[in-house]
Structures are given as C-alpha cells and as structure tokens.
Amino acid sequence: MRNSMVKNVLVNGASGRIGRAVTFNLIQLIDQGNSELEFAAMNDPIGIDNIVDNLMAHDNTHGKYDWRVERTTSEMIEIKTNKGHFFIKAYAEKSLDRIPFKEDGIQIVEECSGFFGDDKKEKGKIGARDFLKYGVETVILSYPAKYADKSLVMGVNNNEYDAGKHRIISNASCTTKAIATPLKLMIDCGFDITALLMDTVHAATNSQNILESLDNVSTHKTGAAIATAELIPSLDGKMDGLSFRVPTTDGSFANAYLVASHHQEMNAEKLNEFFRKYNKSKLYSERIALFEGKEASTKRDIVGKTENSVMILDKTRVIRLPYTNARGKNTYLIGFVSGYDNEMGPPMDQVLLTRYIANRNSKIVFHVPPIDPEDLKLPDHI
C-alpha cells in the first residue's frame, strides 16, 4: 500500500534544458534518501524515444548527466544512477486529457515546458490552472508568472507558503534568486535598505534574436527588481534595474548598488563576515555559496553551481555616507556581486521547493528566525 505521506510528482517538459535539470535534481534528491517525493511520471510531446535521447545527450555546456536512461516498455523508461534505478511512466502528449493524472496519483506537477504560463490574450489567466482539473494539488512553474498564486524562492520567502491558497507557484527567475537571496540575508542581519539599483550581466537566452546574441553586448529590461520587491515587501518602491546580455551560453552575474544603514560600524570585510558566518549554517548554506578568490570566471567558478547565489566576496564594496538614518544607524553605499548558473541554479531551487511543499513541517529551516542584534556583533578589529 502506498505511503499517503509521499507525494507523486510528474515533470512536464521533462527533456528540455530546464526540465532535464529538474528531472536530474529530483532523481538525485530521492537517491539521497528523501522519501517525501516519488518521481511517478514525465511528459514531453516530442515522443518517448526522443525524451530518452535528450536525457542521454551530451550538453554543450554541462556535458552528460550521470545516469543511464532506457525505454523499457511503450510507456515506461528506466533511469539508472550509481545508487539505484527508477522506473518512471513516460508520456508524449500535447493534450492534458490524454495523461492519466488521477490514475497515476499525480499530486505535484513540475511545469517546465513554458506552455502553461500567463495567458497572453486573457489578462489574469494562467494556463497552469488547467492541471488542477485532473486532481493535481500543486503546480510549480520553472519560470516567472504574474498570475501565479505565489512566487517562492528557497531561503527568501518559502516560509510564506500556504497550502490552502498557493496551488500555482512560480519558481521565479534566476536573476531574482541571485539578487533576493543575499538581500534577504542582509535584512535578516539588521540592514535597513533605503534604495537599490541592480543590473545583471546575463548569458544569452532563447528570447534573443540569434544575430543579436552573437559577438554583441546589448542592454535589456529585467523584471528581477520588481520580482525581488514582491518577494521582500520591505523593498517595494525602493528598487529598479536593468540587464546586459552577453554572448555566452551560461553563467551570469547580478550586481547590486544600495544605500543601507546598520547599527554597527561597517566596512567590506565586516559585511563579508556576515556572509561567511551564515554560509556555515543550515540557514543559508544550501542557497548561498562563497567565492574567496580574486577574480571570478563564469566558466571556471559559476557554471555548474546549483546555489541561488555565489557571492564574489572580493568585489564587495562599502562606502560610509555622511549621515545617519531616522533610527540613528550609520548609512552606507554598498555594492556586491552575486554569480549564478542561470540554467542549473533554478532547477535545484525548484526541487528543494518541491520537497519543502511536500513536507511542510520539515525539520530543515530555510529562513532566519528573529535575531538579537548583539548576537550579530562582530569584533571591532575586523
């Protein structure tokens, strides 16, 4: 008899670039003994044989995934890893009516196809709600969606999840995660943020014209500033930003320039000590990594990382401003650089979010409880 506490998951768009990474991370998570989830099925209209070929293909950026994928029957594939093997139902359907969600007991859908986001013709409508007609409890979109019930990012606002209200959830964007995660840590560490500008030096994406993405750096809009303020309401009306697209296939940097106040005397080394201190704990360790070298390279130091943010500590800047805020805190102009693998980071976050939703009462804590300012005080000699 099936354990009623285990949530059956279907990955839709399983063999695309993001869907494949979600599939791999889901397998890895279950391989590590996480029993809250069961990978029950996948769907991709390209055909089951093509699904297998795509999952086994060599990726120009990430190489081959560490698994063996074979088709065993007309509707079943086997994924073998070093630790075990998984038999997963595979569908190649464009119409949701042809997928037996209820028969397979599907409760969570990882929507990675991109076809069930905000409706471009009807304001306020989102295609992902169609999944709910088939008994699905929760749909997690691998991309931003204005009309999702909630956008959630692990380590930022995942503790706001409400099963009764949030059935269509957006995993937000890679840039939003890269900027929101360190900002949330700073706010939790006692910083009052007055104003913030951000930019992202971002790898090329499919939204660009091919000729635009080759041998060219171009300015682009970004929704990350607005999205970050939605995740962290205290930043509402205080943020703006832009994007620079560069001719690389993967790996990006988000740069923040903010006016912020703190009760302690602050400099770059003290700010970095906050990042080091909390990187060593479970509070943030899964979602923030630290780069301690002098110069960071996307190919060498960022691509392949699965955290939301890789803080490039050598690039942290703090300039004292000649005034205090209304609460008597010293005010500073602060800059930091957050690296991120824009293809591999969000899928990991999506799978961790899925685990969190499947086991709302997990002992693993991803948010910081109220902190005593004295506990944050760093030595004056730093």
DSSP secondary structure string for all residues of 17-62: HHHHHHHHHHHHHHHTT-TTEEEEEEE-TT-HHHHHHHHHSPBTTT
> pLDDT at position 283, please?
55
Superfamily of domain 174-343+372-376: Dihydrodipicolinate Reductase; domain 2 (3.30.360.10)
> pLDDT at position 377, please?
54
Residue 198: DSSP 8-state: E
Half-sphere exposure of 19 (CA within 13 A, CB side): 24
> pLDDT at position 285, please?
54
Q: First and final CA of the chain: distance in angstroms?
A: 59
Q: What are the backbone angles phi and psi of residue 56, rounded to the nearest 5°?
A: -90, -10
CATH 3.30.360.10 domain range(s) in the chain: 174-343+372-376
Q: How far apart are CA 172 and CA 165, in angstroms?
A: 18
> pLDDT at position 26, please?
95
Query: Strand 192-203 vs strand 239-246: parallel, antiparallel, or unpaired?
Result: parallel
In single-letter form, the type of residue at position 292 comes to: E
Supply 197's token pair: 């500008």
CATH 3.40.50.720 domain range(s) in the chain: 7-148
List average pLDDT for each run of 10 residues in the chain, which is 382 residues long.
74 96 94 86 96 94 93 95 91 97 97 95 95 97 97 94 96 97 93 97 87 88 94 96 94 98 94 86 73 96 96 98 88 98 96 90 41 48 42
Residue 192: DSSP 8-state: E
Is there a contact between 310 and 304 (Cβ–Cβ < 8 Å)? no
pTM of the model: 0.91
> pLDDT at position 363, please?
42
Nearest to 179 by CA among 311, 271, 18, 314: 311
> pLDDT at position 145, please?
97
Supply 273's token pair: 């000590």
Residue with tokens 């929101």: 180
Nearest to 252 by CA among 149, 124, 320, 342: 342
In single-letter form, the type of residue at position 3 comes to: N
Q: How far apart are CA 72 and CA 122, in angstroms?
A: 42
Nearest to 250 by CA among 311, 306, 316, 313: 306
Residue 37: count of CB within 10 angstroms of its CB? 21
From residue 220, alpha-carbon distances to 202, 203, 208, 244 in Å are: 10, 12, 10, 6
Nearest to 183 by CA among 243, 225, 152: 225
Can you name the CATH fold of 7-148? Answer: Rossmann fold (3.40.50)
In single-letter form, the type of residue at position 302 comes to: I
Q: How far apart are CA 109 and CA 24, in angstroms?
A: 15
Half-sphere exposure of 35 (CA within 13 A, CB side): 4
Residues 6+ apart with CB under 8 A from 361: none
